[in-house]
Amino acid sequence: MEAESVDSIPVGMNWEYEPKWDGFRCLTFRDQANVDLQSKSGQPLARYFPDIVKAVLDISAEQFVLDGEILIVTGKRLISFEDLLLRIHPASSRVKTLAETTPATLMVFDLLLDDKGRSLVDQPLKERREKLERFAARYFKPGGQVLLSPRTLDIKQARIWLAKAGGGLDGVIAKRLDLPYLSGERKGMEKIKKIRSADCVVGGFRYASQGKLLGSLLLGLYDHEGLLHHVGFTSSLSTSEKEKVTLRLEKLIKEPGFTGKAPGGPSRWSTKRSSEWIPLDPRLVVEIEYDHFSEGRFRHGTKLVRFRPDKDPRHCTFAQVTESRKGSNILRQALAGKIS
């Protein structure tokens, strides 16, 4: 069951609200001594999260299916998506080391099969949530790696969560209490993110996968030492706009582009062509919209709002995107089994 993006939190008696965590969506299947972890796209995750497999096996119930989110909780940033990405590694020895040094947490928000082997997917969320809370009270260990995600029926509380987004809290998920679990659908489940804007320097660009047409603008921000660091990209331009902008960019080609952290090279996720980038004289400024900034970069993509010829590039600093720690407090309360 997936969520549809909307602009505002829905209001009504048939809605419940949950924090939207910044992690990997995960379906957890337990059948006796067998545990399977499955991503939103249906890919197996168990080999990357042996610590979660062990935590699920430690639950005394021998059969159940849970829906939740895998998080990496750290003392520095509380929720680290970068540490999650490190887990997707081909070497089992590397995964084992990471599982020991940065253990994962499974934040559970739905129960699809109970400990008696009864399917709950046809039952409304109101009943599933009540059964999940009883299941969690019986089987989840306080402070363990499998936890119950908070929820509220109070729209005021949901608005507070949205206002406090940051530190690993992406926003708010709203769910219809009267609907069954609609696998693969975006009906009755909505996600609301806190949208922000920032002015960024265009420190480089990439061509599209074929030809000499702009593919994406590479975004930069200055640190307190005056170094320009790569922090993300935006590619939300129409084809006609890209043609005009490409000509403009090619007149500004000049090394080094970024003087601090630069765009990465080829990796197992990118082709040689997609990893190549062209440095620019840092004179262009763009305003972008984003919903999340963590670990020195924009996450989940950005949207180009406009070019800012009136903006001094040197004023485009990290001060605009100081990471909110307010969402961190919500996570701390969730880990402690309480929310406010």
The CA distance from 205 to 216, in Å, is: 6
* Band of residue 339 on the pLDDT scale cut at 50, 70, 90: low
In a domain, 328, yes or no: no
Quote the pLDDT of residue 268. Answer: 39
CATH number of the structural domain spanning residue 221: 2.40.50.140
Tokens representing 99 are 């599982």
Find the radius of gyration of the CA atoms of the chain: 22
Q: Name the token pair of 331.
A: 């996570």
In a domain, 224, yes or no: yes
Q: In angstroms, rounded to a whole number, what is the distance separating the alpha carbons of residues 63 and 114?
A: 7
In a domain, 211, yes or no: yes
Cα–Cα distance, 72 to 263 (Å, whole number): 24
The Cα–Cα gap between 286 and 270 comes to 25
286 forms beta bridges with: 200, 307
Catalytic one of 20, 164, 193, 194: 20
pTM of the predicted model, to two decimals?
0.74
What Å distances lie between residue 245 and 133, 198, 301, CA to CA?
54, 20, 20
Last residue of a domain, one of 172, 194, 216: 194
Q: Indicate whether 7 pLDDT > 70.
A: yes
pLDDT value at residue 337: 65
Question: Residue 230's pLDDT is what?
Answer: 97
pLDDT category of residue 340 using cuts at 50, 70 and 90: very low
Q: Assess if residue 336 is contained within a domain.
A: no
- Res 323 pLDDT > 90: no
Q: Is 131 a catalytic residue?
A: no
Domain count, the chain: 2
Q: Among the three residues 194, 215, 244, which one is the final residue of a domain in this structure?
A: 194
Same domain for 186 and 98: yes
Residue 325 has a pLDDT of: 58
Cis ω for the linkage preceding 256 (within 30 of 0): yes
Segment holding 239, helix H or strand E: helix 239-250
Check: CB of residue 37 under 8 Å from CB of residue 28.
Answer: yes
pLDDT at position 148, please? 96
Higher pLDDT, 153 or 84: 153
**Predicted local distance difference test score (pLDDT) of residue 77:** 55
Q: From 194, 215, 240, give the residue that closes a domain.
A: 194
What pLDDT is attached to residue 78? 67
For 304-317, what is each residue's pLDDT tens digit?
999 998 889 999 99
Q: Rounded distance, CA 177 to CA 16, Å?
A: 6
More confident: 268 or 263: 263
**Distance of CA 287 to CAs 156, 201, 312, 319, Å?**
31, 9, 12, 15
Based on the fold, state whether residues 261 and 299 are members of the same structural domain. Answer: yes
CATH number, domain containing residue 32: 3.30.470.30
Q: What is the pLDDT of residue 266?
A: 42
Q: Which domain holds residue 91?
A: 4-194
> What DSSP string describes 245-312?
HHHHHHTTB-S-S-SSS------TTS-HHHH--EEB-TT-EEEEEESEEETTEEES--EEEEE-TTS-
Which CA distances in Å does 233 have to 40, 263, 287, 288? 25, 10, 12, 10
List, for residues 28-49, the tens digit of each pLDDT value: 999 999 999 999 888 999 999 9
Q: Could you give the CA distance from residue 187 to residue 265 in angstroms, rounded to a whole number?
A: 40
**Are 36 and 45 within 8 A, CB to CB?**
no
Region 79-95 average pLDDT = 87
Task: Flag whether pLDDT at 269 surpasses 50.
Answer: no
Query: Looking at 1-5, 66-70, 144-148, which range is the least confident one?
Result: 1-5
